């Protein structure tokens, strides 16, 4: 590979790293081309990216980023999963490893901290970012809905009292 080609790859991977909140390193030896294609499709469908990058180029790309500690995970045939959402790639990879036990999750770097495969498995059990945001929104929206319900109850009770008065006057007439 020529030096300028290496520079382009390093720049691409560095840009992906700057946008990512997590990078998961995997050992992919023993996977077929079809299995790798399936993994890439699953990752893409969940808003993630999976790339096979030479370890030396990945080390150079991670220099100066919060992912510098990733270099300790880069040995042998390594595939890297990138994502903004830390839960999505963990879920995809743990599910994929169950179906394809030849693949191994080595570890990850998130917020500058190195995570082991057990931490990634725990991360995979968490709800996704969208689900957490929906729960937060529901929690924030609850008191407002209750307040609106209380405000609506006052005129409704007034209408019921007036209706009872009307019914009692009709009954006496």
Element (H, E) at 172: helix 129-172
Element (H, E) at 4: helix 3-19
Q: Rounded to whole angstroms, how far apart are CA atoms 54 and 128?
A: 30
- Angle CA(56)–CA(59)–CA(60) in degrees, nearest 5? 90
pLDDT digits (tens, 9 = 90+) for 9-39: 888 988 888 888 899 999 988 888 999 999 9
- Joined together, the tokens standing for residue 51 give 């790339």
Per-residue model confidence (pLDDT) at position 29: 85
At 32, is the secondary structure helix, strand, or coil? coil
Residue 1 has pLDDT above 80, yes or no: no
Predicted TM-score (pTM) above 0.75? no
* CATH architecture, range 3-126: 2-Layer Sandwich (3.30)
117 versus 81: the higher-pLDDT residue is: 81
Q: What are phi and psi of 51, to 5 degrees?
A: -135, 145
Per-residue model confidence (pLDDT) at position 162: 84
pLDDT digits (tens, 9 = 90+) for 137-165: 888 888 888 887 878 777 878 888 888 88
């Amino acid at each position: 590979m020529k030096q300028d080609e290496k520079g382009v790859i390093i720049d691409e991977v560095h840009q992906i790293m700057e946008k990512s909140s997590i990078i998961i390193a995997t050992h992919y030896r023993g996977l077929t081309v079809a299995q790798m294609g399936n993994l890439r499709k699953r990752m893409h469908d969940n808003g993630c990216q999976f790339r096979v990058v030479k370890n030396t180029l990945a080390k150079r790309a991670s220099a100066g980023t919060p992912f510098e500690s990733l270099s300790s995970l880069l040995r042998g045939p390594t595939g890297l999963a990138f994502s903004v959402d830390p839960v999505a790639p963990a879920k995809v990879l743990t599910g994929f490893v169950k179906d394809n036990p030849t693949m191994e999750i080595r570890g990850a770097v998130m917020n500058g901290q190195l995570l082991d495969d057990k931490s990634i498995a725990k991360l995979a059990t968490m709800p996704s970012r969208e689900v957490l945001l929906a729960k937060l929104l529901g929690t924030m929206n609850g008191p407002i809905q209750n307040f609106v319900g209380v405000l609506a109850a006052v005129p409704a009770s007034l209408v019921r009292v007036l209706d009872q008065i009307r019914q009692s006057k009709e009954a006496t007439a």
